[in-house]
Chain A
Amino acid sequence: MEPSFLLVQSLSGLASASSLFVIASGLTLVFGVTRIVNFAHGSFYMLGAYVAVTIVPWLLEFDRSPWLFFLGVLASAAVVGLLGVAMEILLLRRIYRVPELFQLLATFGVVLIVQDAVLWIWGPVDIPGPRAPGLRHGVYIFDQRFPAYELFLIVVGPVVLGLLWLLMHRTRFGVLIRAATRDREMVGALGVNQALLFTGTLFLGAFLAGLGGALQIPRVSASAHMDLSIITEVFVVTVVGGMGSITGAFLAAVLIGQLQAFGVLIFPKITLVLVFLLMAAVLVVKPWGLLGRPEPAAGRAALPEGILHPRHFGRLEMALGAAALAALIALPVFADAYMLKVATEVLVFALAAFSLNFLVGNGGIVSFGHAAYFGLGAYAAGLLVTRIGLPMEPALLAAPMAGGLFAALFGFFVVRLSGIYLAMLTLAFAQIAYAVCFQWVEVTGGDNGVVGVWPSAWAASRQAYYYLVAVLSVAGILALRHVIYAPFGATLRACRDSEARADAVGVNVRKHRWLGFSLAGSAAGLSGGLYAFSKGSIDPTLLSIPMSVDFLAMILLGGIQTVMGPVLGAAAFHSIKDLFMPLTDHWRFFLGASIIALVLLFPRGLGGAFAMLRSRAGQRRLAAVTAA
């Protein structure tokens, strides 16, 4: 290969690294101060691009000068910064003290709302932006042509890094940001106006995301899919660099930019896998990223958010369970085809949600990518049937095996981390699985997926398949439920409550978490396999972030403190979604708003409400007895 070609390749890697850094620096700053991983950071990036493709052409009509172009870019970033302020005041302020899972979900609610707002304001068609005046030409480096705008982008990254350094070291605001990143409590105790500091940080963070988006418009059209595609890359950059470290984000962005630029030459299809390998390697050696620091341990012992004490079924629950089981058996007698389809899906999701809460509620392992194992189970079953021609039965056996194997593979890395790092790593793995299913067109059918995943003849009728799903799902749920009460489930809770104590009584914490992760993955895989046959097809949305969030919303709605709550949550969530989605064009908006409302108003979910009613009734009975 020519040296000049390698140089140009490296330069284009630097250009994308530069853009990535500008966006990632905002996320890492906000995390450093507020300890919230802002899912909506990708939405700010998308909004930056949309605002820019609206106002920059308008400005350029006055005069096609580079100055007006960059004024427009900065103005777009400032508009997005103000949206960040709005988000801080309206939402984030209320959730600084809630557990990470709830924070991530609430900011994902914002992602959904922004997606709908963008579609509503700008429509579904991609909008190309204007090219930058004065930077439209190409520059010749040796004999290779290189766009001038890309050269300009290469400069932007270090300039932003330099400006941020000046801000951090030469201004009071910057010193406060650094202090808060080190020790938020202490900054508060010193009498710093925290509200102002947090709002200012959100402005800066959103501004940087908006700037990153606005700078992209000469290269890519503004589209409604920009948010989730960028957020994964940004997560990877910030995790590799170390959460809260701006210099770390810069290093990681350069590393990943180069890896992608040269990886494309060697393995054109699997650059994403290379990025994943880099991330895995970094996290194994340095669990807190290149320049990150371990989270300071919490000073006081707090009750974990999750299943505290798995209650045994009382007479009431036994009766309810028996009634539910009877209803399940009798349903096909009076249900129409549509109801039966919904009921089948509810059963499938109930198993997936239950397996997720096995991790989240029982193990304290907040997986943000549970759809990966669901989807991989579905793909394993679907591909075996359509590509190899296996019948349904062995394919349904392969589904949990695939889910479990991939959960074991990814889990090997996942269980080395905890808290927010763990959540982000599970999300990144899920995105990689998604990307492979999306890009490996020859095998997976790419975006369209594969059709013709039908059950065997004996299970082909809706009723028969419904019964098959009912038997397997209920069996799966009851088996997992049994494990929660068994020593293994108790051990997972023990590891969640106190790692140090579990270790000191002789428990290999990592190994048990890994086994739990694999077990939950295989249950999700079975659920995915069942889903594939009920739909007759597979496609990448089964592994997507929205699918993972659906599962999380189910367990949140059901109540992560309860053992059976997720089943209730899956039933309620899926029925509501299925009922409302066809009625409105803005279901994303409603879903997002409902998730936020759940987090803010109803964090214990349906299961929590049921438990509360029961204990109230119990108290009333007790009061009556003592009075008499």
Chain B
Amino acid sequence: MTLLRVEGLNKRFGGVVAARDVAFSLHAGEMLAIIGPNGAGKSTTFNMVGGQLTPDTGRVVLNDEEITGLPPRVVCRLGVGRTFQVAQTFLSFSVVENVQMALIARHGQTRDLLARAASLHRQEALGLLARVGMEVDADRPIGELAYGDVKRVELAIALAASPRLLLMDEPTAGMAPRERAALMQLTANIAREQDIGVLFTEHDMDAVFAHADRIIVLVRGEIIARGSPEEVRTDEQVKRVYLGTTGHKAALRARKAAHG
């Protein structure tokens, strides 16, 4: 079934058109990648879905409910988790407390003056950490972790909202190649197991072509191609504008490595 439907999104910043008639849809359990050169409007599109930006025109519909222009906190409560290009965590908290905080927010307990925050939802938080393979480090300060591990914790925080849709803005930016593959594999597994839709932007073609079910190519705010990784990889226009010959070969390699 259709989880997310985006219709005719437009956004201008002064004279720059960051998004023009962007439309796509996303099914539960599907991984949809938005790719394109720098300044193509990926993050803009992304932020319009996540509520960080309000589109000039167009609609964002989640599960038949319009969420256009709603603030991120409301979008979150409707079942959208997100991770950021530069990981955003609660730096003074321990790893497990970061997830506990997200659970406290999800259960609407943020204004509770009586309970002890440190003991709320600890088991559930540890469970989420176990899903991303971080339960061993649960009680370490998050500031001590390697960046790749912080990204995993961020995924656990996003999952704490028990989202139906995950928004991941360049999930592997700033990570080592081996960590990247592991994080994407983890995300893909979780998405399939729990029927979560994943919308992600990415510069790393390995990550995109290995794990995306469908790909959208944005150039200067417009969708120039869409389809399965195979279709996009062989699209002449995409090859010309974005991937180039070397990128085209890299995409083929990535696809083969992931799916044999």
State the A residues within 8 Å of B (CB): 301-304, 306-309, 482-483, 485-491, 493-494, 496-498, 500-509, 512, 515
Contacts and interface: CB of A to CB of B under 8 A. Distances in A.
Interface of B: 50, 71-74, 76-77, 81-82, 84, 86-94, 97, 101-102, 104-106, 109-118, 120, 141, 143, 157-158, 160-161
Contact of A500 (B84, B93, B101, B104): B84
Most interface-central of A304, A497, A506 (chain B CB within 10 A): A506
A497 B93 CA distance: 9
A505 B102 contact: yes
Most interface-central of A482, A497, A508, A509 (chain B CB within 10 A): A497
12 contacts: A301-B86, A303-B91, A304-B91, A309-B94, A482-B114, A488-B111, A490-B101, A491-B111, A493-B92, A503-B76, A504-B84, A507-B73
Contacts of A308: 92
A507 B110 contact: yes
Nearest to A307: B92
A222 to B, nearest CB: 48
A44 B236 CA distance: 68
B91 A505 contact: no
A405 B87 CA distance: 38
Contacts of A512: 110-111
A486 B113 contact: yes
A505 B101 contact: yes
Most interface-central of B89, B105, B120 (chain A CB within 10 A): B105
A253 B87 CA distance: 42
Nearest to A300: B86
Given A482-B113, A486-B115, A501-B90, A506 B73 contact: yes
Given A505-B105, A506-B106, A487 B115 contact: yes
B111 A505 contact: no
B88 A488 contact: no
Nearest to B118: A485
Contacts of B157: 501, 505
Chain A binding surface, main DSSP class: helix
Given A491-B101, A505-B157, A506-B105, A497 B90 contact: yes
B93 A494 contact: yes
Contacts of A483: 113
B188 to A, nearest CB: 21
Contacts of B118: 485
A493 B117 CA distance: 12
A506 B161 contact: yes
Nearest to A491: B110
A8 B164 CA distance: 67
B76 A506 contact: yes
B62 to A, nearest CB: 15
A302 to B, nearest CB: 8
Contacts of A502: 90, 105
Nearest to A497: B90
A303 B143 contact: yes
B200 to A, nearest CB: 15
A608 to B, nearest CB: 15
A500 B88 contact: yes
B52 to A, nearest CB: 8
A275 to B, nearest CB: 32
A489 B104 CA distance: 12
B112 A505 contact: no
Contacts of A485: 116-118
Contact of A498 (B77, B91, B111, B112): B91
Contacts of A303: 91-92, 143
A487 B103 CA distance: 11
Most interface-central of A486, A493, A504 (chain B CB within 10 A): A504
A496 B82 CA distance: 19
A488 B112 contact: yes
Contacts of A307: 92
Contacts of B50: 504
A440 B244 CA distance: 75
Nearest to B107: A487
Nearest to B94: A309
A490 B91 contact: no
A491 B120 CA distance: 13
A486 B77 contact: no
Given A486-B116, A491-B105, A505-B105, A497 B76 contact: no
B46 to A, nearest CB: 12
Contacts of A496: 92
B19 to A, nearest CB: 21
A498 B88 contact: yes
B139 to A, nearest CB: 11
A503 B73 CA distance: 5
Nearest to A492: B110
Contacts of B111: 487-488, 491, 512, 515
